[in-house]
Structures are given as structure tokens and as C-alpha cells.
Structure 1
Amino acid sequence: MAQRFVSIGECMIEMAGGEDRQYRLGYAGDTLNTAWYMRALLDPAWEVDYFTALGEDRYSGDIRKFLDSNGIGTQFIGTVKGRRPGLYMIHQEHGDRHFTYWRDQSAAKLMAEDKDALNVALEGASMVYFSGITMAILHPRARGRLLGAIVKARDAGAKIVFDPNLRPALWSSQRVMASMLTAAASVCDIVLPTHSDEAPVFGDASVEETADRYLELGVEEVVVKDGANPALIATAGERVTVAPPAGAVVVDPTGAGDSFNGAYLSARLAGKSLQDAAAAAHRVAGIVIGQRGALVEPGLVR
């Protein structure tokens, strides 16, 4: 049986650029970005599937074609009548990114309505990946349904991976966000938090405190990202700190963390050590921030 990576989340229409009001249309989203880099870096024998929901409109069809043409499986993508993909625009100003979103009618919000479809999509998966954004856009009951399917996949042998990817604007309150993300992390084998996102919510004074908090939940492997600072990779018996290479030029940091995740996970699946996997992840993220948009050509990161 083929080994299979399944990523769960929302694919959106991305309008990137903004110089002189000129934008480039693409498709992206945190969990799709990671799937993209997994496909670029994993052994070709691996299957990479994306689980989400789309509509019946032109852009939903284009997204399916885009994924298919780039080796990302679409057979588990649901169709929701009357809905369409969400959209976001990236505007660069004073060296920083500013995002504007339109996602109220996003089909992906209903991706976890069908329990049977969820279970079928995750059946036989070797690794399942999801994020805090995946959780945030779902109805509260659907969050429980998703976690139930993920636990079932873990019981069947899948490795479960989670990026908390905190986005307070998507949640009804910070308390709900913190409790739901903690519940999600507690069923995972690998968690990839970003310290600067976590510290204001959980009170972590250091990357070590962020790692310890997840290890105490029973997570086996915690990879704490910290922007341009070194990443901390921690397990019950080992801790390593890996700095990014010097000299990276930041053109657009969109997708940097997602590409880091994909490079790290693909390296670990290839048998690389914590140290070597983190070094590979920094290398790929350094390439991605030098390009515009969340997805760069696979040949640039291999």
C-alpha cells in the first residue's frame, strides 16, 4: 500500500502583489501550502492528498485542475452547492504584509459536515496534517467531528501533525481559541507552533516554555518556530536548536512557516535527524521568502 500524506484545510484564491494596483491570481492557504512543499520534497512514491470543500463555480474548478496538475490528490474534496472558495489579497506596505479576507461563503467551512467522507479521506493515511485555521473556520460541532476522525486515523496508525497557526480574528474569543487548540494538540504526535504567536495567548516567556507546554500534553515532537531566530526542536529525550542560514533576502514572507513545516516533515519522513530536518526546513523557508506569493516552483526548493 502506498504511503499517503493527507492535509486538511482551506484553499483560497490568493491575490498577491499590489504594486500599482496590479495583482497576480494564485491559489494558497496554510495547509495547502504545506501540502505543496510536501509534494515537492517527498519521495515520488508518496501520495499527497488534500481534503477540503469547494463549490461549483469557475474558480473551484480551476483549483481542482491546479491541484491535479501539480500532483496533489483531489479525490476527497467535497462539493457544496451555492458556496465558493474564499479570497484574500496581500498588500505590501513599509516592508510588511497586510491581508484582507473574503471568506464568509467559503465552501471549506462545511468540509467536516459529512462524517463518513472524513473517515474515508483519512483511511489508510500515513500522516495527517491540519492547523488552527482548519479548526477556526468550522462550526463548533464540526470541530469535534474532525477531531474524532483524526483520532480514529491515529488509532489506525497515522502520525498526526498540527500547526496551531493562531489567528484570533477567526475565533469568537481568545479563551475558546486557546482551549480548542490545546484540545487539538493533545491528540497529535508532532506540533509546529510559532513562539511569537503563542506567547501573547499562553504566556510563554521563551521558546522552551512553548515546547514544554506541548510536551506536557503528550506530544512526542515539538518544533517551535521563531521567525528569523533559531528554531527549537524538542522531544522527551532530546533538544536541539537550529538557526536559519544567514543572508536570506525577504521579498514576501507569505507561506514561510508553511514551507518550513513541509520541508521539516518531508525530511523526517525520509529518516533525517531533528537537526538535519530543521536545517532543511530553514533552507526552504529562506528560498520561499525570497519569492512573491505562498507557493514557489518545486524546482527551486528541491
Structure 2
Amino acid sequence: MQRFVSIGECMVEMAPAGPEGQFRLGYAGDTLNTAWYVRRLLPSGWQVEYLTAVGTDPISDRMLEFIAAAGIDTGNIARLPDRTVGLYLIELSNGERSFAYWRSQSAARKLADDPERLGSAIHGAAVIYLSGITLAILDGDGRDLLIAALAGARAAGAIVVFDPNLRPRLWSGVGAMRKAVMQAAGQADIVLPSHDDEASFFGDADIEATARRYAAAGAGLVVVKNGAGRIATLDAGELAFHDPLSVSEVVDSTAAGDSFNAGFLAAHLAGASRAEAVAAGCDIAARVIGARGALVEV
């Protein structure tokens, strides 16, 4: 049994549903979204696990039940009696989403506070997946502990996968975000950035510049997502470009990148070529943005 361990924050999601002003309650979060899709795409020889922290209140209970029902192992989810889970609300305009967040007391902010528990949770994992949001919700000590744990796991043979998922509102400043993201990228084997964010906050001129910056940081494989535009991959210095599927209608772009990551990784881990893995990621993402909410059946 090979283990895919995803690290981050699952939140209560309030997504638009039906008439104006009505919302549907669900559970989502960038690294949970990827774990959810990965579980559906990887064969049964893989165990998908989620590493986070939640409260001991009823909504945390229901969140754990949801994650377990999706086939994701919850054994690495800590229960903190003085905390609860975060919540976000999605607003849509022509298929594009914006978010309002309530997460100041989120238990997930404490997921890396216990180094012994953290090290035990990722010990022996084949793949460890995290994002820039995972880093952003932690305090400085927590980030340092997590990055050190990733370095140890990578040295022991784990594949570390990192989606920078740049969200400056979660950081004290853009400089702090850039520094932490590049520090984490230096411990990653695979980096999955989105060019529009990277251009905004790192000044990358094009998708090749994004790919080469992360490769220079130490990533062996970089896949640069680019919305509906051409995708770049850079593997051991070999650059390639890939045209995504054409999508006729975007209903809700929530989790487009998260689901792409899952499709790409599942195919890559199965031995697919770069082009095949990109196509698999695009196929899942196209189906996801054709429905409402972060988690849809594919």
C-alpha cells in the first residue's frame, strides 16, 4: 500500500445553489479538493490520507465523517478542543468566483505545532502534497517545522509536491509570501504553479519564466497552469508546451487548479508521459468547472 498524504485546511463551504441568495453547505479546501479527486483517480493500491486539525464540535464531527466517507483516511487529523473549523462563502460572476473567509480560529492553523506528530504522520509516505495556503495559515515556527519535516521525508524517498497557490491576503506581506513559497519549492520534487498568480507577485514575463524559476529553486518537474491558455512543463531541463481542452461553458471555476493537479498527479504516478498527464489534468478540470462547487463527481 502506497500512501499519498495531503496537508492543509478543510473548511466549511457555502456555495451558491438554486435561486439568488441560497447556498449549499459542503466541505472543501485546496489540498482537500486535490485529495478528494486523487482518491477517485488512483487505484486501490494507494491510500490517500489528510493531515490537518479540527475542533471537537459537531461541525468538526460532520467534516470528519465527510472526509472519511470520501475514502480518505482521517487518522492524521488532530482534534483540538479550543478550536473549530474555518468557513468560506463563494460568490460567482459569469463563472468566476470570489471568496469571503472566516478562519481566524481554525484548528488547521495548529497542524504543524507538534513536530513528533507531524513527522510520524508523513513518515513512509510515497507522496506528500501541500500548497501555499498550507504555509500561509501557519505561524512562522509552524512553517519552519513543516518545511524541515518535508526535507527529512524527501531525503527518505518521499515525492514532495507543492502548489504555490498564492493568496497574499493570508500573509503579512507579499515579500513574506514570496520568501516562504520559494523556501518550500526548494524542498519539492514537483511544483504546480498558476501563471497568472506568479506573474502578479513574482513578475514572471511568461509561462517559461515561471517554470524556470521553480526549476532553479530545485524542482525536478514544474507544470505551469495557465487558465484556458497554453500549459508549460519543464522536466529535468526539458521544456514542452501543451494546449488545454477547449471548454464551452464555465459554470464555476472553483477547484479548477486543484482538480487539474489531481488528474495530472494520478496519471504521472501511473507512468503516463507529460503530455498524457497534462491531458488527464485538463480533462478532470474541464468537468469540474462545468458544475457548481469545489467537489463534483467526475
Common fold by TM > 0.5: yes
| Offset at residue 242 of structure 1 (A) | 1.5
Q: How does 1:172-183 map to 2 (within 5 A)?
A: 172-183=172-183
Q: Deviations over 1:61-83 (max 9, x none)?
A: 01111111111000010111121
| Counterpart residue number, 2:60 | 60
Asked whether the equivalents of residues 228 and 246 of structure 2 are also in contact (C-alpha less than 8 Å), the reply is no
- Paired with 2:27 and 2:222, the residues of 1 have a C-alpha distance of 29
- Paired with 1:113 and 1:237, the residues of 2 have a C-alpha distance of 37
Distance 1:44 1:248, change over 3 A: farther
| Counterpart residue number, 2:257 | 257
Q: Deviations over 1:21-60 (max 9, x none)?
A: 1100100000000001110100111000000000001111
Distance 1:24 1:224, change over 3 A: same
| Offset at residue 95 of structure 1 (A) | 4.0
| Offset at residue 96 of structure 1 (A) | 2.6
- Paired with 1:287 and 1:55, the residues of 2 have a C-alpha distance of 33
| Counterpart residue number, 2:92 | 92
For the pair 1:3 / 2:2, whether they are aligned, the reply is: yes
| Offset at residue 93 of structure 1 (A) | 2.7
Instruction: Return structure 1 stretches of 4+ with deviation > 6 angstroms.
Output: none
Asked whether the equivalents of residues 55 and 85 of structure 1 are also in contact (C-alpha less than 8 Å), the reply is yes
Asked whether the equivalents of residues 248 and 286 of structure 1 are also in contact (C-alpha less than 8 Å), the reply is no
Say which SS state the counterpart of residue 217 (structure 2) adopts: coil
Q: Which runs of 5+ in 1 are unaligned?
A: none
Q: Aligned partner of 1:52: which letter?
A: T
Q: Deviations over 1:103-122 (max 9, x none)?
A: 01100001111101101110
Q: Aligned partner of 1:20: which letter?
A: E
* TM-score, normalised with respect to structure 2: 0.98
For the pair 1:192 / 2:192, whether they are aligned, the reply is: yes
- Paired with 1:63 and 1:270, the residues of 2 have a C-alpha distance of 30
| Counterpart residue number, 2:158 | 158
| Offset at residue 239 of structure 1 (A) | 2.1
| Counterpart residue number, 1:112 | 112
| Counterpart residue number, 2:131 | 131
| Counterpart residue number, 2:235 | 235
Distance 1:112 1:173, change over 3 A: same
- Paired with 2:4 and 2:247, the residues of 1 have a C-alpha distance of 32
| Counterpart residue number, 1:271 | 271
CA-based RMSD of the aligned residues comes to 1.0
39-48 or 235-244: bigger deviation: 235-244
Counting matched residue pairs gives: 297
- Paired with 2:272 and 2:93, the residues of 1 have a C-alpha distance of 38
Q: Which runs of 5+ in 2 are unaligned?
A: none
Say which SS state the counterpart of residue 52 (structure 1) adopts: strand
- Paired with 2:164 and 2:248, the residues of 1 have a C-alpha distance of 25
Asked whether the equivalents of residues 94 and 251 of structure 2 are also in contact (C-alpha less than 8 Å), the reply is no
Give me the identity figure in percent: 52
* TM-score, normalised with respect to structure 1: 0.96
- Paired with 2:26 and 2:147, the residues of 1 have a C-alpha distance of 30
| Counterpart residue number, 1:16 | 15
